[in-house]
Amino acid sequence: MQLFFTKNIKGNIATFETEEARHIQVLRKNVGDVLQFVDGEGGMYKGEIIELHKKQCLLSILEHIPLYNERKVKLHIGIAPTKNIARLEWFLEKATEIGIEEITPILCDRSERKRIRTDRLEKITMSAMKQSLKAFLPKLNELTNYQDFIKKRNDDIKYIAYCNDNALSHLKKEYSGAKNVTILIGPEGDFSPKEVKLALENSFQGISLGTSRLRTETAGIAACHIISLAIDG
C-alpha cells in the first residue's frame, strides 16, 4: 500500500499541494486513479484523482475510516536532543514506526544541543507515518525547558529513566499497558541530580531500561518499544 498525506480536506474533496502533488506525479498517477491517504488525525481515506496539475492534485473521497488503528492509551516521550541531530532524527523515525502519540524535545542542564528545527523534524515523522501505514501523526512539540515540562505533566503514569547505583525496577515490570504514560529520556551525560530530584518530587517514578548504558536515542527507542508491546499486547 502506498500512502499519501494531506490535512486539506473540505467536504468530499481532498487537496494535495507542493511535495505530495509532485510525489503523485513522479509515480505517474493519472486522473481516475484511486489513492489511499491519511490526514494525520486518524482518518484513513480512499480517493479518486479528479484533477492533476503540476503543483496541485484534487481527489474525490470514496471511503473514509475515522480513528484508524487508534491505540487505547497514549505514550508521550520527553527526550533531550542529541548533539548529532541525525541521531534525534533516527529516534523520531523509528518511534513513529513503532508507535508514539507525542514527543517533546527537552532542554536539560547537560544538553549538548540547545536549538532544533521542528519543521524539518516534522517531515521525518510524516514520512515515517506513511511508511508504517499509520493514520496518526505524532504531535511534535517545540523545545521545552525541563522544569516547565516536569511541572505541566499530568498523565496517569510518569517515569524518568536515569542511571542509578541503586537498583531501579525495569520499565517492562512496572508498566501494564492500561494507562497513559510519559517517559523522560535524558542527554548523553544523564540527568543532573537536581533534575532527578525535581522529577521524583513531581510524581515521576525512576525506572531502568536494562543493565547496558544506552545512547539517548537508543534509550528512547527501547522505552517506546517496551510501552508499545504492553499496549498492543
Report if residue 227 sits inside a domain: yes
CA distances from 3 to 45, 121, 187 (A): 9, 19, 34
* Gap between the Cα atoms of 216 and 222, Å rounded: 10
Residue 25 lies in a domain: yes
Asked if residue 208 belongs to a domain, the reply is: yes
Domain total of the chain: 2
Residue ending a domain, choose from 33, 65, 97: 65
Asked if pLDDT for residue 155 goes beyond 80, the answer is: no
Verify that 184 and 207 share a domain, yes or no: yes
**Pair 94, 56 in one domain:** no
Are both 81 and 55 inside the same structural domain? no
Same domain, 158 and 43: no
Task: Say whether pLDDT at 178 is over 90.
Answer: no
Instruction: Output the CA–CA distances (angstroms, integers) from residue 173 to 55, 160, 186, 230, in the order listed.
Output: 51, 14, 21, 10
Going by pLDDT thresholds of 50, 70 and 90, the confidence category of residue 156 is confident
Distance in angstroms (rounded) separating the CA atoms of residues 61 and 47 = 4
Residue 185 has pLDDT above 80, yes or no: yes
Condensed to tens digits (0 to 9), the pLDDT of residues 93-148 reads: 999 999 999 999 999 999 989 899 999 999 999 999 999 999 999 999 999 999 99
Residue 24 belongs to domain with CATH number: 2.40.240.20
Domain that holds residue 23: 3-65
Residue pair 30/59 in contact (Cβ under 8 Å)? The answer is no
Final residue of a domain: which of 46, 65, 84? 65
The pTM of the full predicted model, rounded to 2 decimals, is: 0.92
Query: Would 70 be classed as within a structural domain?
Result: no
151 and 61, same domain (yes or no): no
Do 54 and 84 fall into the same domain?
A: no
Strand partners, 41: 136
| Residue 131 belongs to domain with CATH number | 3.40.1280.10
Beta strand segments in the chain, E = 3-5, 9-10, 13-17, 34-38, 44-52, 56-65, 75-79, 102-107, 139-140, 144-145, 157-161, 181-185, 205-207
* pLDDT (tens digit per residue) in 34-92: 999 999 999 999 999 999 988 899 999 999 999 999 999 999 999 999 999 999 999 99
Residue 27 domain flag = yes
Question: Which pLDDT does position 230 carry in this prediction?
Answer: 93
User: Do both 80 and 159 map to the same domain?
Assistant: yes
Q: Are residue 126 and residue 36 in the same domain, yes or no?
A: no
Indicate if 10 and 99 belong to the same structural domain.
no
Encode pLDDT of 190-201 as tens digits: 999 999 999 999
The pLDDT of residue 165 is: 65
Across all residues in the chain, what is the average pLDDT?
94
Same domain? For 180 and 223 the reply is yes
Digit-coded pLDDT (tens) for 17-35: 988 999 998 899 999 999 9
Residues 186, 162, single domain; the answer is yes
Residue 97 sits in the same domain as residue 123: yes
Rounded-to-integer distance, Cα 230 and Cα 233, Å: 5
Burial of 149 (0-12, 13-18, 19+ CB in 10 A): buried
| Last-in-domain residue among 65, 87, 103 | 65
